[in-house]
Amino acid sequence: MKKLITLIAALLLTIGVRADDHQITFGELPKNAKIFVLTYFKDVPFKEVVIERRASLAQYEVKLENGLKLQFDRMGFCTEIEAKRGSVPAEVMPKKIVATVAKHFPDCLVKKFENNGRMYEVILDSGVVLTFNTTLRLIDIDEE
């Protein structure tokens, strides 16, 4: 009986967090996301715009033709930028982070930039992961 209850509970939890991803138009993005894309990538065509819903969480993903993938929270603030080709543009990252990367890792490309509101994470093409606090101070260097 315990196994049956555990199985039913696991099934209900799985159904409850089912992903609901579907394509949307650029115009359906939150205002802040549209402003960000038009400010930094107005000349770059986009491949697709997707809304991802998981439980009560909604986020948006914009894939650009140049290989960049942008992720936005429900309010339209950019939380992640990933470069499949090339690197994350310096102008979308805080200047202090760009300066730190240039000083200590001059031959590396930034492949991923994340901002979760409490810290920033930068992943370099060498596999080095840099973590910065909210005051943009480097607090950790790790390997991926």
SS (H, E, C) 9-56: HHHHHHHHCCEEEEECCHHHCCHHHHHHHHHHCCCCCEEEEEEEEECC
Structure pTM?
Answer: 0.81
* CB-based burial, 78-88: b 16+ in 10 Å, e otherwise: bebbbbeeebb
**pLDDT-above-90 percentage for the chain:** 78
What the chain holds in terms of domains, given with CATH numbers, is: 19-85 (3.40.1420.30), 86-144 (3.40.1420.30)
For residue 20, the model assigns a pLDDT of 74
Helix (H) or strand (E) holding 65: none
- Token digits of residue 49: 């715009």
Q: What is the mean pLDDT of the chain?
A: 88
Per-residue pLDDT band for 19 (boundaries 50, 70, 90) equals low
Asked whether the predicted pLDDT for residue 31 surpasses 70, the reply is yes
pLDDT digits (tens, 9 = 90+) for 65-90: 999 999 999 999 999 999 999 999 99
Q: Residue 143 in contact with residue 134, Cβ under 8 Å?
A: no
